[in-house]
A and B are shown apart, each in its own frame.
Chain A
């Protein structure tokens, strides 16, 4: 029997079995079978580990080998010994010993051991370098609007976007303050701008400039806002007053006092004027009644610098210097929800003109992000890191695009397509940060006012030439907007028709319910 045992390793003598090291490990297990097999060799294969049986029984009786072979193939733990290399056989031994299902730690440990034993020297773990394609398909609406977007982007590529301003005006005395809102363009094609203590109206149809008012004392203009029909202008002052002016007669209709600090931002909802104050409060004024203050919304702990009613008047978005974005239900004086994703003052707020519950908000210097929100589900849909302070956001009415204005370091306008958020173009616009933007009533031209005290007009969203019947009228307005004194007469002739058409045009997306 000892001779028999001794014979096994050498006796077999085939090249495959000459690999000594793994066998050495296995011999412990092999030690048993021969001792028993000495009694009745034929019974061994069925009762014991087959690998060893093969070799033990092999040389003495070739006939027995044949019968054992099938057993070798169906072994549960060691599928095929002869095919094994060092690593897998070693691993198999470990596995055969631990009959029970492996747990992860053991498996990992065993692989570590295998590696430590030098088994891994001839093994590599490889991975495909490229990342698997992602599946950003959660919002089905995005999927279905994608083809439309692509065609939009294609036309955008064809559309020439001039990176030179159509017109440049001086805006001397423009207060260089990020928290004020001093520019607005009315449906009647009047551009209002607050320059220090005065408010000027620039008639975009004729090019005429009027001084609307001059504040007294130390007060300066902190915000201007047109009603949606362009008939009244609200002016917020540094003293906390809110004045309402008639655009037609250029006279003050009323003053609504009460805020203790400057009113840096306002937003109209029909007869309701919301004003955001330095102290963080938002007041709703009903301009028709004597006791104008109908609600006070307190949720910001610092200056309110962004305020925007949704076009249907159901929701109000407010952004503050406390980095909060609040969404208010019109019927409630507690926020519907608050968002804290921004890490700097939230000044830029814009509701999408084509998708009611879509809101874009942009953060200040340390934030640089534009976030997109579904205000129905309160979900954040998307974000862009713009790389610089976001001072305002304007959506295009005609294209699925938006334009953002920025401060340092590039003081540029950026045009993005939505919802792909692909940047279409960067326009280096000003020498210093762009403070305010306004969109013309026909939706084609963006006005930008920057702290370099200039006011520039950019024709970014030029109407598609094949766009239907109203495009001509809109073009008329745009032409009028760029009118020189020479074409004054023509503009005046087009005047009555054009602004009304333009007014209609713009009032559609902003129409009330």
Chain B
């Protein structure tokens, strides 16, 4: 009985968390696309979110494209089938990966053992502050990331469990690692059900070495 109740509760919090995380991903990806100039500035508009102005694409094609990706991601998150989400920035001509933004997703299992005394849900404010910190870091990262001189495009990769349901719009891929990469770990945040850690890998500037 109590197990049943707990399961239900766990499910709801997982789905709720999936929503929070998906929203974070959507804003995060938009923010990266803006900061890294994948699309021209005039295609973006500022939206208030997490107490910040976040630049979000208003190009219908891009919005639709990301929307389709995010729909799938949210389902996987809710089912707990996803380990990583990666945004790889590729040179359009050579297809070489120049930058790789990785978000590790860890499922925070509700401590079933602590049964009668569930951990206090995270306050919305604390969550917002954690997410805000990541966005500040994404914006700040422009200062150390190499300038993307070529025309670039991007790919979204998802590391999923093998038993995840895969829509036909998705296909297997190689990990698109950056060759000769420098990595910088960004901040992390966690909801009651997911923990997200961010990492950016970029091509080491050969001239500086």
Contact = CB atoms under 8 A, between A and B. Distances in A.
Interface of A: 14, 69, 79-80, 82-84, 87-88, 101-105, 107-108, 111, 121-135, 137
Given A83-B108, A88-B106, A135-B43, A125 B92 contact: no
Interface residues of B, number: 58
A125 B175 contact: yes
Given A80-B106, A80-B109, A127-B158, A134 B62 contact: no
Contacts of B180: 104-105
B145 interface: no
Nearest to B39: A135
A82 B183 contact: no
Interface in B82-125: 83, 92, 104, 106-109, 111, 113-114
Given A126-B173, A135-B43, A104 B65 contact: no
B65 A130 contact: yes
Contacts of A103: 181-183
B144 interface: no
B69 interface: yes
Chain B binding surface, main DSSP class: mixed
20 contacts: A79-B195, A80-B106, A101-B183, A103-B181, A104-B180, A108-B175, A122-B163, A123-B162, A124-B162, A125-B173, A125-B174, A126-B158, A126-B160, A127-B155, A127-B156, A127-B170, A131-B153, A134-B153, A135-B40, A137-B43
A130 B151 CA distance: 18
Contact of B40 (A80, A83, A126, A137): A137
A14 B112 CA distance: 11
Given A125-B159, A127-B158, A132 B153 contact: yes
Contacts of A134: 92, 153
B172 interface: yes
A79 B106 contact: yes
Nearest to B166: A126
Contacts of A125: 157-160, 172-175
B117 to A, nearest CB: 9
B61 A133 contact: yes
Contacts of A101: 183-185
B2 interface: no
Given A104-B177, A125-B174, A130-B169, 9 more contacts: A79-B190, A84-B106, A104-B181, A111-B175, A125-B175, A126-B158, A126-B166, A128-B170, A130-B65
A104 B201 CA distance: 7
B153 A80 contact: no
Given A101-B185, A122-B163, A129 B171 contact: yes
A123 to B, nearest CB: 6
Given A126-B173, A133-B62, A87 B155 contact: no
Interface in B1-34: none
A65 to B, nearest CB: 9
